[in-house]
Structure 1
Amino acid sequence: MSNRKTPPQPSRRGFLLAGGALALAGWLGGAPGALAAAGAAKPAAAKLPKDVEPFYGPHQGGILTPQQQNSYFAAFDVADTAKREDLIALLKAWTDAAARLTHGQPARALSGQSDKAPLDSGEAVGLSPARLTLTFGFGPSLFSKNGVDRFGLAARRPEALVDLPKFNGDQLVPERSGGDLSVQACADDPQVAFHAVRQLAALADGIASVRWAQTGFASGAPGGGTPRNLMGFKDGTNNPSTKDPALMNQFIWVGDEGGWMKGGSYVVVRRIRIALEHWDKTELGFQQEVVGRYKDSGAPLGQRHEFEPMKLNAVDKDGNPVIPETAHSRVASAQENDGARILRRAYSYNDGANFTAERWPPWHQGIEYDAGLFFIAYQRDPRTGFIRINKKLASQDMMNQYTTHVASAIFACPPGARPGGYIGEALFAAL
């Protein structure tokens, strides 16, 4: 019998994670030998796999990225005991983890880890990256909270990062609104999206904690058509084309006026409950008048194709507007809002059923769907974007009889990170 000890066999978990770490080392810039081997194996400018979205770049992913099927949005509160250096350390850790996660790698590197400090919760092992994107934002309360400048950032708060006003009809739940930081994970697999936020929350332990979260789903038509919301209508038809750089610079990306926010964007999120039971009893003709579009094609009333410009001056044989003056698409249009445009990237949500008292006739009370739209909109300046549009919608939109805004937040999403840097780095550069 030999005295030679049999080498320990790697576990499946260890094999998968070790393989991921080796791949990551070549991608992030590991040991010279690893880089040389990687260079010999494939071209330096090799294209990313179809299921991988780039993380580093001038802008954050998840804004212009073709919309994925699932979303997990979380707002975080930073602990009152945290210091500025803790916040910076967290953003660095999140940036590193996000770069790994979007490439299908574990959130934390193997070095320094042990069996007593799990590398990853593991539920996404073996899954595709599913085009995961992670988009980070800074809320107004990060700059000053209850009059306290916790991190020395008050003077750096962008003018455009305003507190959202209270709109007519709002029934906001404070516990599901606001937040110091935001993370939105979007992916074609809901487990991948949740897994990513779960890992970031674990990294934030002791520095920041989840304040509220919201899941969402979106299903586009075959071939990448406009997604439909739970009302059955296409949602986002009027978006400015993300393939037009001039429109993106005009309406979505912050310019020189933003200082450290140049290249970033502002996001407004609103949880909008829809009275689906009421809507489902509404005749198709009236539904289309409420929206101002045909339900099947998405075309403006009186027209044939989804992306035709709305003819707001068109009238019927009796002289009435073909698109009613209170139709949602009309009231929200650029023509009715001094040219204001935003980029909607909304997701539907379904959180089961709850007891609800309707705020519109027939004032039904009882168990109803807790479902609706998780509205997400990016823009260059909320004051001339969402706020201008929603003020008019809140007072004139015929759709208000079916919808109630129950949660709300605004965040400044800084420009993308560069390799070796971190999200929001320019915010702290002069501090």
Structure 2
Amino acid sequence: MTQDLERKAKKVIRKLLEHGYEAYMVGGCVRDKQLNRPVKDYDIATAAKPEQVQQLFQRTIPTGLQHGTVSVRMDDCLFEVTTFRTESGYEDFRHPTEVQFIDSLYEDLRRRDFTMNAMALDIDGHLIDPFDGVNDMKKNLLRCVGDANERFQEDALRMLRCIRFASQYGLEIENQTWLALLKQAPLLEHIAMERVRMELERMIAEAAPAHAVQLLEGSRLLDYVKQSLRLADLNQEKLSGDWSTLNDPLLKWAYLYLSMGVSAAETEQELRALTFSKQQVEQVRQVIAAAHELSRQLALEPNEDGLQQAWKLTVISYGQESIVGLHQILQASPGVLTELGVADKWSKSLITCGLTWLKDMPVHSLEELDLGGRELLARLSKPAGPWVSKVLAHLLRETALKRLANESDLLLAEAERFYESIIQQESGAHEHK
């Protein structure tokens, strides 16, 4: 797949060359090829102006003409083709106010962020590396091109990208680059939270998020973003186990907030501030809420039977997906619930027995009950009201805990009995008033 992609990228380059325009593969594809890593996409830089690129190729998309970028479709693949350029006047510490198209590859590479991203390959595979990017990578070093202070002032987001690249590629941040990052950190207040989230998401989703957390903690970068984040308080020493091995990135996020003892509501608020999608926010919130509910239930009956009951009740409150996710977090980091007051011995029991207890449950949700709300209303001949949800919740609880068989006749009999007890309680409460 990668070879096929490269072959098609070279078709684009060859056509540019045939019409007298310099063209090279640049950026991440060059870096990843030097590291023998899979290349996801090929970007092309050229001396051709955007309108010249559009004239040369039949199928193009004007992706970012003001910055010189045209997307070219070659066969079934899309390639970003960008004119050599210089940039200046970064008024918002993110985007250049002036872009000038040039015919110098060297000057185009000189404006880039890090040496390992400032390399090019010609169509024959010859490497152009004016800023010693390959040598830096051999030394496992991440270094800004030129003056690091200037690079971060031009685009403050580069500081978070610096952390991401260092953790993703297992690099040490070069001393002058690190000092500049610490000095320019306050500029992050100018960066949109959406961009912050995108960088953090990639850090956490990668294979070495613990390294990213360590660098974030050491740099204190998150102290300077637009909105206050609890994530800024992450302490690498308090993170335990193999949390970074969790397959689902959202479970990693849930773990981080659980490790700090942050409530589900606070987590939801923060993830919304970071512009996560509603679905992502809900998935993380449910796992954290399940952990807190489990802790609360266990506090009522702190013994093995109470633990099993607490686990099952949490399942019916927050669903199988959340409880399986919580189980995976526990497997990766058995001590994660200590922040919520759950003793290590109970966590170990959950790791051993949790999934067995889950399978042991006859029902896990209202949909699995052999009695629905409409049937309940019809059979009891009572007017609809809040009592319906109370009765169904009771039936689910009793059935899940195997105190009641999941058979419609038995469920109806219990529903009638429980309904009468609700009426008696309400009338008693009314008389007491």
Q: Given the two structures, how large is their TM-score scaled by the length of structure 1?
A: 0.21
**Which structure carries more helix by proportion?**
2
Work out which structure has the larger RCO, using CA pairs closer than 8 Å and 6 or more positions apart in sequence.
Answer: 1
Q: Given the two structures, how large is their TM-score scaled by the length of structure 2?
A: 0.21
**Which structure carries more strand by proportion?**
1
